[in-house]
Amino acid sequence: MSEKGRPGEPLYLKQEDLISRLPEKIGKVSLDYKHYPGEDLYSDGSIEDEILSIVKEASAFEYPEIIEKRGSWPVLYHLSPLRANIVDWLPIDKNHKVLEIGSGCGVITEKLSEKAGEVTCVDLSAKRSHINAYRNQDKDNITIHVGNFSDIEPELPADYDYVCLIGVFEYGQSYIHSKTPYEDFMKIMLRHVKDGGRLVIAIENKMGLKYFAGCKEDHVGTYFSGLEGYPDGGSARTFTRTGLERIMASCEVKDYSFYYPYPDYKFPTVIYSDRRLPLPGELTNNMRNFDRDRMVLFNEKYVFDGIIKDNLFPVFSNSYMVVIGKEPDIIYAKYSNDRAQQYALRTEIVETSSGKVIRKIPSSKEAQEHIARMERSYQLLLGRYEGSGLKINPCRLAEDKSYVEFPFEKGRTLEELLDECLEKDDMDEFYRLFDKYYSFISYGSDSGAADYDLIFANILVDGDDWTVIDYEWTVEEQVAPEEIAFRAVYCYVLEEEKRNKLNFDLIISKLGISARDADEYREKEFKFQKKVTGKRKSMGEIRAAIGTYAVDPRILMEQHLQEILNKRIQIYLDKGRGFSEEDSYYMPDVYTDEYTIEAEIPFDGNVCALRIDPADRFCIVKIKELSVNGETVPVSKKTVITNGKNVKNGTYVFATKDPNLTVNVSLLPRQGENILSVKLELSPLQEEIAGDIAEGVKRLF
């Protein structure tokens, strides 16, 4: 029913009457309003009505298309399943109870309910809780408590396997009104974690690199506010790693581990940890300003590379995920779930009793077949490359077919080695490695099996051992080795602008690929990407559709500087030796409006000519007033000499970026000290138009 009442009923109902009319069940989801105050004290306005309408009328399968069509940040944020990546990797199973604080519109709830046996949610907003319930109405393991956390919390049990604060801990001072709200908030939440359970916190890093690079602070929406210690206040506070550790120490928390969601915890594509930190060259996906415009003060990728090399990534990671309790066995997770459903998966590095292993896990039921096919791909490639010296990392399909597992191999990717060659400008070594690569992929080319995605990043090199570590896109058909090599180089160059120094045409020539073949291979790659993504827009394309801007302030500074230059004039004084830069100066602030220049120029009796450069651009200039010591100066060819074309008396067109007007003051009455008063009207022109007018004037006269 409508929260505004039925026809014929009063618009405003008593609190108890209003609450009694709220639905206690939406589908299979239970809602508890025992502590609901009767009105939503927090709301994003009409956008919540829009989202409520969507989840009522559309299925989750339709959300990606709706997100693309709406081009709206709130719709993306509240509906995109990619937000759930932040909890998807956690080792939660059907034996676990989970408590989620600040569950909002339910995108995290949805994933938790898929993984856990029971999920309890707490949220202040009834409308958001209804959105949560409608989107998850087929789940029978969700209970949502609507109301103020401080009222609900004392009645919550203390037996949860996981307590999740995803984007919530930063609002601790709103939940807890004490002198130490964040410490007290953590202590309260820890009371609800059972022995052996975990408290999970996902939060922005106050010193995240994106804020230095020009992103606005996520919560208050201003530049550098978190870096400056929130001088203008606000309800949220984020922390550095040290700050979080200080809070945990005050709560006597000793067992915890840090994870690093990248690019941040909102839409993470990779989860790093202290046991598997990012490598140089990995952090390339930094343009993520979906909600606000941003500046681009520097290339974050290159700065991240330096930070990683100096072991400072934990200090400058954009976000943190803190797991309080036993450290999970998962040390790394990478998501490839922005694809078509049948190809969506997660790649993990897992610490087992026998060492590290790599697992690929389907993100949907539709992707299970894709995962299972990898075992067949291993056998095909093993047969093709037998005797070549190129190793294929073994693949084992789990008995329940829920994942495939690979040994964790040591070494560096061929991509890293090639980058190192380019950095050192060692092209001999680059081509030695490339030639060896091409020799390997050419082996057994008539076998009827090929790894279409045999790119440099998918080969691990350890001394003389070369191992293919990912062969997800193996096909049972012949693919020419030069096509595979072309694609590898093509992807390699496209991913990093520093690689543009590589002579792509030379490599194509070495491979014997014609221009027609190259065009065909590019078209095939385009179709392949569309197949993998299911023709869905990338997050970059969605960002563009939302319409936020990434502005380079260096360009703005140059433009602003040009505006300053355009608002001043330069004065040259000829004292009998001609004009020179030494005898010149600038007069700023002479524009009284956008097109009018008014200036009073002093000169002494030794000056025989005075030159005015009114602008550094193509333009038309009209002399409105010209006088010396209050006496009007007639505008004639003798008194005013110019490098422009005279359109009519006193009006000149300049087909040059160095226009000038010279007043021959030697012909005018002068004193020891004088004032030349001038008023000009200046209209900027495009170069071509200025040239056309000047040429027309020349022909006319």
pLDDT above 70 coverage of the chain, percent: 97
For residue 16, what pLDDT band results from cuts at 50, 70 and 90? low
584's torsion region: left (phi>0), alpha (psi -120 to 50) or beta? beta
Strand 465-468 vs strand 118-123: parallel, antiparallel, or unpaired? unpaired
For residue 2, what pLDDT band results from cuts at 50, 70 and 90? very low
pLDDT of 7 higher than 70 = no
Other C-beta atoms closer than 10 Å to the C-beta of 20 total 11
Average pLDDT over residues 19-23: 80
* Sequence-separated (6 or more) residues with CB below 8 Å from residue 278: 260, 262, 270, 272, 304, 308, 313
Strand 294-295 vs strand 550-551: parallel, antiparallel, or unpaired? parallel
Least confident of 33-47, 411-425, 467-481: 33-47
The 10s digit of each residue's pLDDT in 245-270 is 999 999 999 999 999 999 999 999 99
Average pLDDT over residues 436-452: 95
The 10s digit of each residue's pLDDT in 203-229 is 999 999 999 999 999 999 999 999 999
Strands (DSSP E) found in 518-575: 550-551, 569-574
pLDDT of 15 higher than 80 = no
Secondary structure (3-state) at 641? strand
Average pLDDT over residues 299-323: 97
Q: How far apart, in Å, are the Cα atoms of 578 and each of 99, 141, 573, 602?
A: 84, 91, 8, 18
Q: What is the pLDDT of residue 608?
A: 95
Domain 19-337 indexed as CATH 3.40.50.150: yes
| Extents of the domains making up the chain | 19-337, 367-535, 558-700
User: Between residues 540 and 75, which one has the greater pLDDT?
Assistant: 75
pLDDT of 239 higher than 90 = yes
The 10s digit of each residue's pLDDT in 447-470 is 999 999 999 999 999 999 999 999
For residue 1, what pLDDT band results from cuts at 50, 70 and 90? very low
The Cα 485–Cα 490 span in angstroms is 8
Spatial strand order in the sheet of 569-574: 584-587, 569-574, 609-613, 661-663, 640-642
Least confident of 336-350, 369-383, 531-545: 531-545
Q: How far apart, in Å, are the Cα atoms of 240 and each of 102, 178, 645?
A: 22, 21, 64
Side chain identity at 148, as an amino acid letter?
N
* Sequence-separated (6 or more) residues with CB below 8 Å from residue 64: 80, 536
Q: What is the mean pLDDT of the chain?
A: 93
CA 76 to centroid of chain Cα atoms: 14
pLDDT above 90 coverage of the chain, percent: 83
* Sequence-separated (6 or more) residues with CB below 8 Å from residue 517: 482, 483, 486
Q: How many residues does the chain have?
A: 701
The Cα 116–Cα 97 span in angstroms is 6
For residue 640, what pLDDT band results from cuts at 50, 70 and 90? very high
Q: What is the pLDDT of residue 8?
A: 42
pTM of this structure: 0.83
The Cα 545–Cα 72 span in angstroms is 8
Q: What is the pLDDT of residue 431?
A: 94
User: Between residues 152 and 637, which one has the greater pLDDT?
Assistant: 152
Looking at residue 484, the DSSP 8-state letter turns out to be H
Q: What single string gives the DSSP state of each residue in 390-402?
A: EEE---EE-TTSS
Q: What is the pLDDT of residue 699?
A: 65
Q: What is the pLDDT of residue 20?
A: 67
The Cα 260–Cα 594 span in angstroms is 51
